[in-house]
Structure 1
């Protein structure tokens, strides 16, 4: 990608984790391995249905800035590092963004 990447080539990935430490470990791996340019972590509480019951638990989640080309490798790496049987790993493309920032993301992420 060039320094002026199209917004739809940049993805924001959302991943939930069991706790802050897991989010940090996975997020750091993604940035160190150049699958994400940046990871922002938040701690929250989740209410969800699992195996027929409503559950409630603390968890952490992160947003990872990545590219469409790196998305398959990012998904695979998160699954390999994650403790959940079925982790939330979703992404959406950007509609708009500061061109220089999008270029920074594209330059920080390496397509495997």
Structure 2
């Protein structure tokens, strides 16, 4: 088991929960932490501000490519940010739980 976090943002709670549920049902992730953020960013040459929902998605590295492709397919943003964060260490009990959920 080689655990990773995948970080992305969504424009609203509805899309964050809908897509997260789909990822869980497909067993691409074991868990997601969702949190509202105030975001500031450049878009089409100007500074924008707004609320986004940040998502930390927990999974195994073997799910990375399928998860990234599925996020691209389902994501409402034209250019979603999808970042993989490799985890150096994870407690054994949590890692075993993740493996059981993802791989049965």
Structure 2 spans left out of the alignment, 5+ residues: none
Q: How does 1:39-78 map to 2 (within 5 A)?
A: 39-78=32-71
Structure 1 spans left out of the alignment, 5+ residues: none
Aligned pair 1:80/2:73, yes or no? yes
Find the counterpart in structure 1 of residue 91 from structure 2.
98
1:57 match: secondary structure: strand
Question: How many residues get paired?
Answer: 103
* In structure 2, distance between residues paired with 1:93 and 1:107: 20
Q: Report how far residue 49 of structure 1 moved.
A: 1.1
Q: Report how far residue 13 of structure 1 moved.
A: 0.6
Q: Any conservation in 2 of the 1:41–1:60 contact (CA below 8 Å)?
A: yes
Moved over 6 A (4+): none
Deviations 1:39-79 (A, max 9, x none): 11111111011221111011111111011110111111111
RMSD of aligned residue pairs (Cα, Å): 1.1
The normalised TM-score by structure 1 is 0.86
Deviations 1:51-108 (A, max 9, x none): 2111101111111101111011111111111110100111111111111101211222
Find the counterpart in structure 2 of residue 10 from structure 1.
3
The normalised TM-score by structure 2 is 0.93
